[in-house]
Structure 1
């Protein structure tokens, strides 16, 4: 099911996220890859599961293969597609292939730079940027490739995009968000946010766009993780209060405290958005607790 259908119905859309394994899927279908197991754990609590595309420029199993595997297990995937590794021929071909294999939702991204990953000698492509990628996808939906040639059996997918409420100055990010909407973006998932005031300021500036937004949150597992993100991940800031609070408990209580903190944050801002995108980074077992702290009914209770 397209996420846009849920947004149109007024559903509060909940998505999670998994990363494909660094390796191939076992051909014995009784042996599920880690990402499928995590997605199965998420399945009862979310509407759909994002499948990352070589996240942080680290080589892994392709997002498309993992997305199709989830689909065959009855889990709605959000296929992620980045500009970093493909030229416009490959991007169009992969979108058509994804739709042909039953994928209904795609998140269209620029992609993390090669220098962040494990193959720094690789040549980045970036033939298109994220706005051009969305516009190209819209063309495929209308029956034309990027060169203007007609295509057969054109795709019909829901197009998502990303926005970063932490950017400073925020006006540049808002301008790009407007361009993405004009290009064909139908919903947005935000980069990880931890500051209510920053997010509220952002929402007041973009609510006029009348486009569904899911607030994104990366589960903060340890104080060391918070400090690492502040030092190494551009566009994300974890406030000292978050770092101090997760560090106020022993290691055996990190999961419980992380769920409480994430849920409390979502509870504060859920009235401003149309959904939430939870990135548990392997801690899929705490997602039910996060939703309980946020006072949000799991997706399986909404269908």
Structure 2
């Protein structure tokens, strides 16, 4: 994302009153720009260059890079390490935290499953805004963090999804990244419910997108990735395409 007032590539946007972090990603969103993020799967390697090779693919295309946390319930380089490496060379990282594998002591120290996403957000907000741990012990210098959360507009029961998002916003989420969205009708219903709750002025929502290389891949995702809904129309379109990879990008 290049802004007209940037004298050199990567020149930071100003940090304005009300910003909760010094990060570029928050500034891009608050500027009203169309923000684009991507997900970087950490390598099975201790070589920083393996992270940088993957990150360079997205140079000039994205505003921030998500570092996944134990993706696929498998061991990889930690999201903390990936974010530290990305920050070192000027990228804007988004550190993902999976509650699945940690307890609350580890989460407060790392910034685990005795917390869910909502209580994790509330915990982080306490650390940042109230300057103390859950135990009441004071923090000498509180973290400056822009909090986000994941949401799945297509998981059942659909009528509850926007209510779940409202809880995350109340707990402290400032931006939301969704699961892959291939069903626009369902996504519109979700956004309508979010709007009715008055949340669109309180949180930034980034719908998830990704290219499907084939009908077979689309069918596999529909069967095996929880909450990903790929409509029959999309699968038929891929199956009938002469160049399914290009068709997946077009979709």
Matches within 5 A, 1:243-258: 243-250=235-242, 253-258=243-248
Say if 1:2 and 1:158, in contact at 8 Å, map to a contact too: no
Say if 2:214 and 2:245, in contact at 8 Å, map to a contact too: no
Kindly indicate whether residue 108 of structure 2 is the aligned counterpart of residue 133 of structure 1.
Answer: no
Q: Determine which structure has the larger helix proportion and give its number.
A: 1
Work out the CA distance in 1 between the residues paired with 2:26 and 2:125: 15
Q: Determine which structure has the larger strand proportion and give its number.
A: 1
DSSP-derived class of the 1:230 partner: helix
Alignment: residue pair count: 224
DSSP-derived class of the 1:138 partner: helix
Say if 2:68 and 2:95, in contact at 8 Å, map to a contact too: yes
The runs of 5 or more residues in structure 2 that have no matched partner are: 1-22
RMSD: 1.6
Kindly indicate whether residue 227 of structure 2 is the aligned counterpart of residue 235 of structure 1.
Answer: yes
The runs of 5 or more residues in structure 1 that have no matched partner are: 27-31, 96-124, 262-303
Say if 1:138 and 1:183, in contact at 8 Å, map to a contact too: yes
What is the Cα deviation at residue 94 of structure 1? 1.3
Identify which of 51, 56, 59 aligns with 2:75: 59
Say if 1:161 and 1:188, in contact at 8 Å, map to a contact too: yes
Work out the CA distance in 2 between the residues paired with 1:85 and 1:185: 21
Say if 1:246 and 1:254, in contact at 8 Å, map to a contact too: yes
Work out the CA distance in 1 between the residues paired with 2:232 and 2:54: 30
Identify which of 159, 167, 170 aligns with 1:171: 159
TM-score by length of 1: 0.70
DSSP-derived class of the 2:58 partner: helix
TM-score by length of 2: 0.84
Work out the CA distance in 2 between the residues paired with 1:36 and 1:244: 37
Superposed CA offset, 1:92-113 (max 9, x none): 1111xxxxxxxxxxxxxxxxxx
Say if 2:214 and 2:238, in contact at 8 Å, map to a contact too: yes
Kindly indicate whether residue 195 of structure 2 is the aligned counterpart of residue 203 of structure 1.
Answer: no
